[in-house]
Amino acid sequence: MKYALSARNQFEGIVTDITEGAVNGIVALDVNGSKVSATISMAAIKDLDLKVGDAAVAVIKATEVMVGKGDLCLSARNQFPGEVIAVEEGAVNGIVKIRALGENVISATISMAAIKELGLTVGSEATAVIKATSVMIGK
């Protein structure tokens, strides 16, 4: 279920939970045994006719992915540990690719300063961090 989008991160999964609020809801997807949380509007949940058990896709822009190392205690619901499989260096920013969520690859666009400060190299361990409000859901 890949779409022609500029967002590099598209992960297929199954809706496992929907928590409804007055304006927004939290949709949980199971992606290869890992939970991906998305905070989206109740209008979007209804427009997509989302239900537990539905196939759906989580879509995340690479610029919305943070990268950390070590034990992280953060409010961000989505923290996916994995292995760095590629680092593409640019003048100011670079792209770090982390294998996580099963065999999926999460792309993160972060500063070259952060890449160097964190010592992100191919083979190193890192955690992709994504706020639930940065996750879009498609069906």
* Per-residue pLDDT, 62: 97
The 10s digit of each residue's pLDDT in 19-32 is 999 999 999 999 99
* Per-residue pLDDT, 27: 98
pTM to 2 decimals?
0.92
* Per-residue pLDDT, 2: 56
For the domain made up of 62-130, give the CATH fold: OB fold (Dihydrolipoamide Acetyltransferase, E2P) (2.40.50)
Domains 9-60+133-138 and 62-130 share a fold: yes
* Per-residue pLDDT, 4: 83
* Per-residue pLDDT, 5: 84
Under CATH, which number does the domain 9-60+133-138 receive? 2.40.50.100
Domain boundaries, the chain: 9-60+133-138, 62-130
Q: How far is CA 40 from the centre of its chain?
A: 14
* Per-residue pLDDT, 3: 60
Pick out the chain residues at pLDDT < 50: none
